Amino acid sequence: MTTEEFLNSYGNMIKEIHSKELVLKSLIESMSAPKSPSLSGSGGFGSGNSSKVESDVMRKLELEGEIRKMKFEASEIRAQVLRVILSVSDPTERAILEMRFITLISVKEIIAKLYSDRSDYVQRYESYRKREQRIYNSALENVSRCLTMSHDIPAKK
């Protein structure tokens, strides 16, 4: 696992959780939608509905369990990533890493947070973007060195 893959592991887990939550939300909405009566003439609301409801309830419970487990795992991964980020001595590097990998905001938002109070922000945006990228690259090198020395994650393959 590379340093960047390790740092991205929390964000990736959050994306997976969000995806499962969307599936769960869709399932719940379909379960609560009114059922249409059977057109087969047998009366009632169709013969297969009870097994469909049962199946949906089981799937809902499975998804809820998976999401709970993933959230627990995500909190552990977050703690590991944050511990590594907090080991970076430079405060700007640390802030950029935390915004990218813990707060999960875009590079554009990071640049705005760091430099938008400057009077030349709009005119020199590209310069500030390059500066943020240089700081980020330096931070990755520092984290990689720390991880290699502490053996927290495997070295790059």
- For the stretch 8-37, pLDDT in tens is 999 999 999 999 999 999 999 988 877 666
What is the band of 136 on the pLDDT scale with cuts at 50, 70, 90?
Answer: very high
Average pLDDT over residues 49-75: 92
SS3 62: helix
- The greatest distance separating any two alpha carbons of the chain, rounded to the nearest whole angstrom, comes to 75
Instruction: Give the pLDDT confidence score for residue 146 in this predicted structure.
Output: 82
Angle ∠(66,24,28) on CA atoms, nearest 5: 135
Query: For 79, what's the count of Cα atoms within 13 Å in the CB-facing half-sphere?
Result: 6
The answer to whether 64 and 55 are in contact (CB under 8 A) is no
pLDDT digits (tens, 9 = 90+) for 97-116: 999 999 999 999 999 999 99
**The dihedral formed by the CA atoms of 82, 140, 125 and 119, expressed in degrees to the nearest 10:** 60
d(CA 119, CA 29): 49
